[in-house]
Structure 1
Amino acid sequence: MGRSNETFSKKEKEKKRLKKQQNKKDKTEERKASSSKGKSLEDMMAYVDADGNITSTPPDLHNKRKEIALEDIQLGAAKQIAMPEDAVRKGVVTLFNEQKGFGFIRDEISRESIFVHVSDVTGIIRENDRVTYEPSRGQKGPAAIKVAKI
């Protein structure tokens, strides 16, 4: 009589493999049973109320609606205030580098930063000085000419 080809360790390995397969099947069936795939969109929806809390009831939007005129909606960048070229303006020197010979003036009305070169300054100016100037178009944007300390 011949001996069986299966040894004790082979039988044990086979049992472990079958047990793993069974556990895997059990887990997949459990996942399918508790799955939320069959839920409708309304069941899965969550809402945030005015206080920032998450709720399952949708907010009442009809009472909080505001009418907005189409003319009030702004598209694109904000409009810049056009500066008259020949008017004398006032501003404050925000930065001035004496070694390099240039700086910037913040306009009092438009709050726009305007370039100033030392050749356009009459007298001596420093940072935080109040000055008068005439706006003009420079190579890279607005520039100040005829700058004088107040």
Structure 2
Amino acid sequence: MVKKETSTKRDREKVKQTKKEEKQKRKEERLNNGSRSFEEMLAYVDENGVLHSTPQEKPRTEIDASEIAVSVSKQEEMEDPLPLNGRIEHFNKSKGYGFVKDAENDEKYFFHITSAPDDITEGDIVTFEIERGTRGMNAVRISIINKVNK
């Protein structure tokens, strides 16, 4: 079916008017067919997450504001971590990082050159401590116990 092309201004105005009237009729039909009010569309959620059409009454408990403690919780004092022993598995001096392998559990820890002595090389036996970094545990405060001669 081919859409009729209007050529005159009067024809275009008639089409526009009929569309406007159809839209108004549809709007009236929606209103007459029992459209719901805003209150009927509301849903209420109780403390268990169940939806209800009416607000649910729950017993209100009074809270004494003087019992509310607003502060930072006390942190337990941690003992200074014992230094761990390990061996330098990998070290790249030009990039400034390396990895220490723990002697006890064979875990590898990343370290940055700023937390190691200047003369550190691969194979050195070292003591170190671990701290949480942005991507995991890092070896810090590294000191050489036994230097490997190359």
Pairwise TM-score range, normalised by the shorter structure = 0.3 to 0.5
Please report the TM-score for the alignment, with normalisation by the length of structure 2. Answer: 0.42
